[in-house]
Structure 1
Amino acid sequence: MTDDADARRLAWVYLSRVVEGPCPALSALIDRIGVTEAARAVRECDLPESLRSATELRRGTDCAERDLDLVARLGGRALTPDDVEWPSWRMLALGQLDATRDRSAAVPLVLWVRGPLSLPDATEQALAVVGARCSSGYGEQVAADIAGDLAGQGWTIVSGAAFGIDGTAHRAALAAGGTTVAVLGCGVDRPYPAQHERLLAEIAEYGLVVSEYPPGTTAHKHHFLARNRLIAALSDGVLVVEAGMRSGARNTVKWARRLGRPALAVPGPVTSAASVGCHRMIREGEALLVTRAEEVVDETGPLRLAVPDRAVAADETPDGDEGLVYAALPQVGSRLPAHLAADSGLPLATVRAALPALELAGLVGSDPSGWFRLTRTERLVR
């Protein structure tokens, strides 16, 4: 790592500790003057009025090197927007929200991660499963069936590691041999709830534990409301299985809708207080009714986007979204859909819909390494 890159990483981590969570005003300052200069301005209190109170409490606390060392000893790492592993395309929608409507509507400064997987790869095809903490046997059975089925099909299950539906979804994904991501409202070194310490350790071993809060940060109520936006952002859709009238799961659905993700809900018995929130979201058009994994895939997977009626001729240059995806493919080598989304600036679902159209047109092919351009000779053979 170069001196400049090291200085930038320490600046990101320092600022992450100063504000501990989303801070639109600080994000705007970083965009304007750069992260190292923003860190200097915070240390010296050379700040606009909108940032002074937000940074006053911890601006004198610079333990960036200690934080990095601590998370490394846990087998984790800190991801910043400078890193290759930063989930850029997942963060795009967050960056486009109006932060004046909600203080949490900001891209995280740092993502603290424990686990062996790449975050962009792990969330390439992901579903958030959330719901009641005081779940019923019915809700846990439905959540386990849907999460287990999808995990077995290669979907990543994202949730918040809470009691009830969250924990059930994580366990079902692990039992199916699939991938699961837990997004916390505290430091990744602080199991929360404490009774899920073993579950979180297993997730960190086979999946990922993620937080925007620095190591050692304890859980607070407002952290979970901010955490919900990351659960929605890291997923292709949000599924609610059981929710009371004032359930926090509805907050995650709000973020899904603002980010353009499908929101889904499972109905329950009409006499069940645990499903009142799901029924209300379905009735008021906030969420679509689903009952099994196939319906979830139909609403959140790439097949719900129509393939263009006219295939592109082999000697034409494709236009529209297909053209942008084709242009993002290298002349030599292959790319995964997530990388194409980042390079083309298109949503992943749009990229996934465009690739089959290009394949039908005889312009691209695929193999386990990803998608690639076909030469003219290969087009004729196919």
Structure 2
Amino acid sequence: MARAALSCLIEPGDRVAGRWVREYGPEVVAWDLTRSQKQPPYAEGRRVGSPRARERARDPGRELERIQRAGGRFVCPGDSEWPTQLDDLGDARPLGLWVRGRPDLRLWALRSVAVVGARACTEYGSHVAATLSAALARAGWIVASGAAYGIDAAAHRGALAAQGATLGVLACGVDRAYPSGNAELIDRLAQQGLLVAELPLGEHPTRSRFIMRNRVLAALTRGTVVVEAALRSGSLSTARQARDLGRITMGVPGPVTSAVSAGVHELLRTGAEVVTEAAQVVELVGRIGADLAPAHRVPLTPRDRLPRGAVQVLEVLPGRGTVDSTWIARESGTERDEALGRLYELLSLGFVERQGDRWRLSTPPAEHPIRW
């Protein structure tokens, strides 16, 4: 009850108020800020919250009833559903989280990856975010993002399209559809996934609340992938906070001519991991030695399988016309008998043809698999 009251009164990420709660306990601080007629001495004259916020904080029971009627709940430190990785935020740790959705938040967060990026993304960025998130979902990972336009929405939709799990961290109350253009998507997140916010029902987003929301997204997940971001981008703050918290930070490179990818490229220059597919993300955030991405190997061609001496002879044959074995031996730097032996090897494999005493490349060159 005390933490619910304080979440109505204190802005997300307030380290000073977080220190009060740590030192004096949430019950004492809630009483001092909402009921006491005197200013608490540790506040040092600082006023907390607007008159409306102070009025709401005086009746936390009503706020808890409202979230229950909305099909949600309030989760705070000490609850079995509380994701303990949020404790890494120290005094900036959320006082509690307002949650909509049936799944267990702690269990989902244990295997989650944040996929974030630009709101004004390109078609390339939207495609990458959707396909990456769909592949992560099929691999059993929960995709977390901020439910905003652009990369966030593409990430959520990609996970949902793969019948996967996805989690939205909001900068407003979990009953508000912001942005309004994503109202249908946010409703699907509440029905099929999870919606999480530090702010109680009815609260609206602000610029500072978006920035503070990013720290929760960074701390809650195992790693953060930035798909597209300009040099000034809120998604970069998510990645930086993830890095500061010891989480894995990753970036998907884009065209070097694209301003929307300039921030990602700068992030990669400062130590973030390059990823281009979901398997590489899973390798970084998954179990060490067990979730390795498959190695990409260049497919071998028939020419790649040839012995070095045969390649040496084959390379001197002209593209057109015929030559004799003496010329081939001289140009390849081999003895005539060795060159002749190599030519017969190449003939049996279909690389060359003999015309009388002269030799030429097969037309077309052999591309069939060699069976040794």
| Pairwise same-fold verdict (TM > 0.5) | yes
Distance apart, 1:292 and its partner CA = 0.6
Please point out which of 114, 117, 129 is paired with 1:131: 117
* Percent of residue pairs identical: 42
SS in 1 for 2:110: coil
Distance apart, 1:147 and its partner CA = 0.7
Distance apart, 1:56 and its partner CA = 6.4
Q: Is residue 34 of structure 2 the alignment partner of residue 49 of structure 1?
A: no
Give me the TM-score of the superposition, normalised by structure 2: 0.74
Distance in 2, Cα, partners of 1:120 & 1:70: 22
Distance in 2, Cα, partners of 1:144 & 1:168: 5
Give me the TM-score of the superposition, normalised by structure 1: 0.72
SS in 1 for 2:288: helix
What root-mean-square deviation, in Å, do the aligned CA atoms of Structure 1 and Structure 2 show? 1.7
Q: Is residue 44 of structure 2 the alignment partner of residue 59 of structure 1?
A: no
Distance apart, 1:60 and its partner CA = 4.4
Distance in 2, Cα, partners of 1:182 & 1:77: 15
The answer to whether the 8 A contact 1:25-1:51 is kept is no
| Counterpart residue type for residue 79 of structure 1 | V
The answer to whether the 8 A contact 1:112-1:188 is kept is yes
SS in 1 for 2:157: helix
Q: Is residue 104 of structure 2 the alignment partner of residue 118 of structure 1?
A: yes
Change (3 A) 1:56 1:269: closer
SS in 2 for 1:123: helix
Q: Which residue of 2 aligns with 1:92?
A: 87
Q: Which residue of 1 aligns with 2:143?
A: 157
Q: Which residue of 1 aligns with 2:285?
A: 300
Q: Deviations over 1:240-280 (max 9, x none)?
A: 00111111111001110111001100001111121111111
Q: Deviations over 1:68-104 (max 9, x none)?
A: 111111101111113211112x113212xxx6xxxxx
Q: Which structure has the larger Rg?
A: 2
Distance apart, 1:153 and its partner CA = 0.9
The answer to whether the 8 A contact 2:33-2:48 is kept is no
Distance in 1, Cα, partners of 2:44 & 2:197: 25
Change (3 A) 1:257 1:304: farther
Please point out which of 23, 31, 34 is paired with 1:32: 23
Distance in 1, Cα, partners of 2:164 & 2:277: 18
Change (3 A) 1:48 1:302: same
Q: How many residues align?
A: 286
Distance in 1, Cα, partners of 2:183 & 2:104: 22
Distance in 2, Cα, partners of 1:111 & 1:166: 20
Distance apart, 1:55 and its partner CA = 4.3
Q: Is residue 67 of structure 2 the alignment partner of residue 71 of structure 1?
A: yes
Gaps of 5+ in 2: 292-372
Distance apart, 1:54 and its partner CA = 2.9
Distance in 2, Cα, partners of 1:171 & 1:282: 26
Q: Which residue of 1 aligns with 2:8?
A: 17
Equivalent residues in 2 for 1:1-382 (5 A)? 10-43=1-34, 44=36, 45-50=39-44, 52-55=46-49, 57=51, 58-61=53-56, 62-88=58-84, 90-95=85-90, 106-285=92-271, 287-303=272-288
Distance in 2, Cα, partners of 1:35 & 1:246: 36
SS in 1 for 2:178: coil
Change (3 A) 1:194 1:131: same
Q: Deviations over 1:19-62 (max 9, x none)?
A: 13222222222222222122112122324235722346443442
